[in-house]
Structure 1
Amino acid sequence: MLAAALSGTTPARAAEEVDLLLALAADVSRSVDGQKFQLQRDGYAAALTDPKVVAAITGGTLGRIAVAYIEWSGAGNQKVVIDWTVIRDADSAGKFATQLLESPRAFADRTSISGGIDFSVAQLERAPFQARRRTIDVSGDGTNNSGRDVTAARDEAVAKGIQINGLVILTEQPLSWNAEHTNPAGGLDAYFRNNVIGGPGAFVMTAQNFDSFGQALIGKLIAEIAGTAPPSRAARVAPSGMDTLLR
């Protein structure tokens, strides 16, 4: 301190520590039409302010997490909609949700899950906060069809100690022009399990449609904040049709 005072410099402040750095990476590709987009945005806003999610946040070791909201579409189309923000109570969660609902849509292009992961990794590495756990929460309604191989992006993120979880949004009626994209062989949930998620305890949760997205997200956020896998039996019988698949 004395040396810093004599030299006229200010000592660097240690970054604030939080329980979790959480990058919410939302799919806004062309298959997500205007109505689905709004349901997704509303779902994120409602889930972040849900009393059970807020209780999970405040019940952590430090009682706070840092969240960034990212939208991604085709290769090269990724944007930070809301930069790193500390959520520590209902008030800060409400402010984040309000900002999210008021922000315009970023893109409507192809689906580069790999680009979304790579971009999210970069945001985690530049975050002005520190945390022992770093997680990317990828939501999507289709397979990777743009950019580099998604498994390569996943493996590089996992090698850096980052966990990737998935929230799959099923398409009830396959798009006639792109059926294999939203309904691949074996199911989109299996595709995410085999190609997208990674890291110890990584999991996939499934919303049967965009209407049930918010309910599925609540369980997912609670599991991520607590650092545990969601209870599979309870998830499978949830009224929303929420399903859980563990990697």
Structure 2
Amino acid sequence: MRLDFCGSSVRVAGATLLAGLVSLLFPSSARALDALRTGVSPIIAAYDASREVDVELVLAVDISQSMDTDEQEVQRAGYVSAITSPDVLEAVRFGPIGRIAVTYLEWGGVDEHFIVANWTVIQDEASAASFAAQIAESPLRQVQRTSIASALTKAVEMMQTNSYNSMRQVIDISGDGPNNQGGSVTKARDKLLTTGVTINGLPLMMKSSSNAWQAMLNLDQYYEDCVIGGPGSFTIPVRSKEGFADAIKMKLVMEIAGLQMQRPLVQQAADRKPVQCSIFD
């Protein structure tokens, strides 16, 4: 949501534009360029039309200890409901290709990543229901720390090593606290954004009225300043359990359809004091 007209930003923008053009004309070459930038070896396969999708979407879900069992169950149910909803399926159908590739990743501390539902093509009710069932039936987990930096790095790696081609790659990351392990989240984010990915946020603020620490943090502002980035990036804060499913559905529809908000749901950085992103790193 912020534009910084400095030399480094222009260079990053140029690299992103070049990667976008190469991705459009030569999808396999684009993955090779990504590999050179990040050091991740891509899967290069023969062209297969069935591997073309409108968007590659990683649902990266926080399972740190601050997420109690009740919140995790609400979170799971929200994703299951949203993925199988008529609104999300309609957004999928109206894409140029009419299908998306999606995976559900749970994350905690550094290298604590659990693929609950691996890459799946969703194009109709049956494929959506099958993917949602994997999420619903997986046992709940809980880990100690919160490394948003590690989760973002893993998500980009999963995109670069799958066998799908798309015009857009989106990470949908949800969490109820700041990065507290794995180094600087902003440095990790800025490096990953050079691959052309978009990072959207779902800050979970359901405890902000009873948890003084979380209320003081202004997690929605933290996500805006320190976590999200890329073309059309946005955050949707979740402030109640009752509104969780609707927030996820809105977010998925916007990501799948490639929509952008006319106005942000939180204050722009220029209108308030910027968050100190490194305070918990």
TM-score relative to the length of structure 1: 0.85
Aligned equivalents of 2:124, 2:268: Cα separation in 1: 30
Paired amino acid for 1:139:
S
Q: Percent identity?
A: 40
More strand by share: 1
Answer yes or no: is the 8 Å Cα contact 1:184–1:191 preserved in 2: no
More helix by share: 2
Matched, 1:109 2:140: no
Aligned equivalents of 1:174, 1:229: Cα separation in 2: 32
Structure 2 unaligned blocks of 5 or more: 1-44, 270-281
Aligned to 2:82: 47
Aligned to 1:130: 165
Please, which of 216, 241, 254 is the counterpart of residue 223 of structure 1?
A: 254
Matched, 1:14 2:47: yes
Answer yes or no: is the 8 Å Cα contact 2:209–2:215 preserved in 1: no
Answer yes or no: is the 8 Å Cα contact 1:77–1:107 preserved in 2: no
Aligned equivalents of 1:122, 1:245: Cα separation in 2: 31
Matched, 1:196 2:223: no
Aligned equivalents of 1:106, 1:156: Cα separation in 2: 29
Aligned to 1:168: 203
Paired amino acid for 2:163:
P
Structure 1 unaligned blocks of 5 or more: 1-11, 234-242
Answer yes or no: is the 8 Å Cα contact 2:221–2:266 preserved in 1: no
Q: Which digits, 9 at most, give the CA deviation of each residue in 1:51-109, with x for residues without a partner?
A: 00000001100000000100001112112111110000111111111111001124322
Pairwise CA distance, 1:231 = 4.9
The change in CA–CA distance for 1:153 and 1:111 in structure 2 (over 3 A counts) is same
Pairwise CA distance, 1:172 = 3.2
Answer yes or no: is the 8 Å Cα contact 1:84–1:128 preserved in 2: no
> What's the C-alpha RMSD, in Å, of the aligned pairs?
1.8
Please, which of 169, 179, 182 is the counterpart of residue 144 of structure 1?
A: 179
Please, which of 206, 212, 215 is the counterpart of residue 183 of structure 1?
A: 215
Answer yes or no: is the 8 Å Cα contact 1:142–1:183 preserved in 2: no
Aligned equivalents of 1:244, 1:153: Cα separation in 2: 23
Answer yes or no: is the 8 Å Cα contact 2:208–2:215 preserved in 1: no
